Amino acid sequence: MLNPPDPAIVARIAEIMSRAKRLLFITGAGISADSGLPTYRGIGGLYNNQMTEENFPIETALSGAMLDENPAITWKYLYQIEEACRGAKFNDAHAIIAGWQETFEVCVLTQNIDGFHRDAGSRNLIEMHGDIHDLLCTCCDYQASVPNYDGLKMPPSCPRCQALVRPRVVLFGEALPSGAIQHLYRELDQGFDVVFSIGTTSVFPYIAGPVAQASQMGVPTVEINPADTNVTRFVDYKLASGAAASLWAIREALTNAA
């Protein structure tokens, strides 16, 4: 059972937000916990560091190299990940962040590949690791978006050229998408008034970096996570509670202060 958000900390965060214009929300798997998704670190943690049936580490099975060498293995585990998301929807945490676009300039940087921020209506969205529902051909310009992988032949092939199709996600060992990186740089160059880290262990430098940089520049920082993480030591305000409950409390405090 998660602790409820600390009212004093919530009130302080709401006070800071009441004077803010631009907000950055950095989110990880924890924000989707209230949607019923596992709070794994990256893709592989869904398997709790166990070896696959083929006796590979999951990071090997879900790597770009394996997709090239043996796409059936990679797609087997991509299917399992998508199946874990199937039927789930965005929750109040995603919706509240999207709703704040009417009051603030909001940017969302997410590691998640579930597409929930997009479904909730977030517009200025950086999906650093992609979206598992977006498919693209490895040879031609064919692209498609699917609600789930049911009915797909495994591994799927392009209906135009018959080449291998893959999801628009960053597999282990692959480079981050340059467009997403450039988008993040442009947003950081504009600056933010408050930076939130929600539901991520922040093991990647491009996820932890904006929080550490904001802290060094004196920009207020907030972490919402039941556990301590790689950025906990940097943040000004820590809510050791769930994402949806914390954001609900902050929104209520903002409304009452208005």
Q: What is the DSSP string of 200-227?
A: ----SHHHHHHHHHHHHTT--EEEE-SS
CATH of region 7-36+90-129+176-257: 3.40.50.1220
Per residue in 92-129, pLDDT (tens digit) is: 999 999 999 999 999 999 999 999 999 999 999 999 99
Q: How many helices (H) and strands (E) does the chain have?
A: 9, 9
C-alpha–C-alpha distance, residues 78 and 71, integer Å: 10
Q: Which CATH architecture has domain 44-86+135-169?
A: 2-Layer Sandwich (3.30)
Catalytic residue, from 94, 129, 133, 183: name it.
129
Beta bridge pairs of residue 24: 107, 195
> What pLDDT shows up at residue 40?
53
Among all chains, which residue has been given the structure tokens 């950025």? 231
> What pLDDT shows up at residue 46?
54
Sorted by where each begins, the domain ranges of the chain are 7-36+90-129+176-257, 44-86+135-169
Q: Which amino acid belongs to residue 105?
A: E
Beta bridge pairs of residue 144: 135
> What pLDDT shows up at residue 51?
81
Among all chains, which residue has been given the structure tokens 């009417």? 102
Residue 60 contacts residue 116 (beta carbons within 8 Å): no
Per residue in 219-256, pLDDT (tens digit) is: 999 999 999 999 999 999 999 999 999 999 999 999 98
Residue 185 contacts residue 123 (beta carbons within 8 Å): no
Q: What is the DSSP string of 161-206?
A: T-PBEEEEE--BTPPPPHHHHHHHHHHHHH--SEEEEES----SHH
Q: What is the pTM assigned to this prediction? A: 0.93
C-alpha–C-alpha distance, residues 100 and 251, integer Å: 9
Q: Which amino acid belongs to residue 202?
A: S
Q: Which residues touch 169 (CB under 8 Å, ≥6 apart)?
A: 43, 78, 113, 129, 130, 131, 132
> At how many degrees (to 10) do helices 92-99 and 243-257 cross?
40
Where the chain has pLDDT below 50, the residues are 41-45
> What pLDDT shows up at residue 181?
97
Enter the tokens of residue 155.
Answer: 């591994």
C-alpha–C-alpha distance, residues 129 and 206, integer Å: 11
> What pLDDT shows up at residue 166?
98
Residue 120 contacts residue 90 (beta carbons within 8 Å): yes
> What pLDDT shows up at residue 45?
46
C-alpha–C-alpha distance, residues 71 and 253, integer Å: 50
Q: Which amino acid belongs to residue 147?
A: P
- Tell me, yes or no, if 129 is annotated catalytic: yes
